[in-house]
Homo-oligomer: A and B are copies of this chain.
Amino acid sequence: MVIVMGPDATQGDVQAIVEIIGTAGGDAFVSRGVSRTIIGLVGDVAQFSALDLRGMRGVADVMRVTAPYKLVSRDNHPERSTVRVGGVPIGPGTVTLIAGPCAVETPQQTLEAAEMAKAAGATLLRGGAYKPRTSPYAFQGLGEAGLRILADVREQTGLPVVTEVVDAHDVELVASYADMLQVGTRNAQNFALLQAVGGIGKPVMLKRGMNATIEEWLMAAEYIAQRGNLDIVLCERGIRTFETATRNTLDVSAVPVAQRLSHLPVIVDPSHSGGRRDLVLPLTRAAIAVGADGVIIDVHPNPEQALCDGPQALVDDDLRELARVMRDFPPLVGKNPAGDVLASA
């Protein structure tokens, strides 16, 4: 930590800080500049954070210089991690395609969507049984019945299942069906839920909060990690900005930035960020090109009848192009499509 003193701070103000830091078990190094004095703090930052340093006389600013996350930081774990979901790798060597319906509606719709996903190169099936919806009047998902459908479709297609959990007390139930739990953007700071998925022993896909800085996203991951679960996949899904032409603004820069700060895999959701079918393929290409370790995409056999986010689901006509993208782009960034990895395994 660094304390910047105001221009009119006195010798006594500086001394008071040196003393309080000493009392807190730390060391304070004073650098006197022409117009400002700077005090560098060495010791336990958590200890210092509890002090009202900003409130002390003469203090102009207090700046943190180390990342507040540890377990997910790349500082302490320089090699990038691979997370395995039902045997399927997500990590630096591959570009994994996760696809399926936004919401599980019927067994047939889910199976058809899973087969579409597979045809495009997907090795994991997505599908929501619990849907967090802005309106209480919108379809909220089938709940456990939806989980059973997902499990059946996994059996029929061989695709491991990724599905969302929205309440800490459903974690055990959802984990009993799913291969990977998803924490959605609206729950990115639901700390009770983060701790619950941290304790369940299944991989977790953590979407970035639509208002979360990259640092806050990594702090949310730290909540999961702190409970002993490091099988976390970060998912960039667009942030909220002033632009209204797209539902959210896909922050592709966040992919390399997060990969540099954290050893966790980072994937992208091009369906929910744009919210428009015509953007899904361009954003998928951008995601792979920027270095994402995977993408998660909505597909639907009959989007005009979808109960949730139909307008953004890819349809049959798009699958050939999606398959081509999944095949041609990964090699240009030194990666294999996950499908190949499995095939050759």
Contact = CB atoms under 8 A, between A and B. Distances in A.
Interface of A: 2, 4, 6-7, 29, 31-36, 38, 40-43, 46, 49-52, 54-56, 60-61, 63, 65-66, 68-69, 75, 132-140, 166-169, 186-187, 189-193, 195, 209-211, 213-216, 219, 222-223, 226, 239-246, 249-257, 260, 273-274, 277-279, 282-283, 285-291, 303-307, 310-311, 328-329, 332-333
A15 B218 CA distance: 32
Nearest to A198: B136
A223 B136 contact: yes
B304 A55 contact: yes
Contacts of A139: 50
Nearest to A325: B332
A4 B297 CA distance: 28
Q: Give the oligomeric copy count.
A: 4
Contacts of A241: 239, 241-242, 249, 251
A55 B137 contact: no
A246 B253 contact: yes
B46 A40 contact: no
B304 A56 contact: yes
A65 B75 contact: no
A191 B184 CA distance: 12
B38 A34 contact: no
Of all A-B residue pairs in the complex, the 8 with the closest CB atoms, nearest first, are A211-B211, A31-B40, A289-B289, A29-B31, A186-B189, A285-B289, A167-B192, A52-B304
Contact of A286 (B166, B244, B290): B290
Most B CB contacts (10 A, CB to CB) among A169, A251, A282, A303 go to A282
A214 B279 CA distance: 15
A55 to B, nearest CB: 5
A188 to B, nearest CB: 8
Contacts of A242: 211, 213, 239-242
A43 B254 CA distance: 35
Given A278-B260, A286-B289, A213 B245 contact: yes
A243 B219 contact: no
Contacts of A132: 189, 191
Contacts of A310: 50-52, 55
Contacts of A2: 2, 4, 38, 40, 63, 65
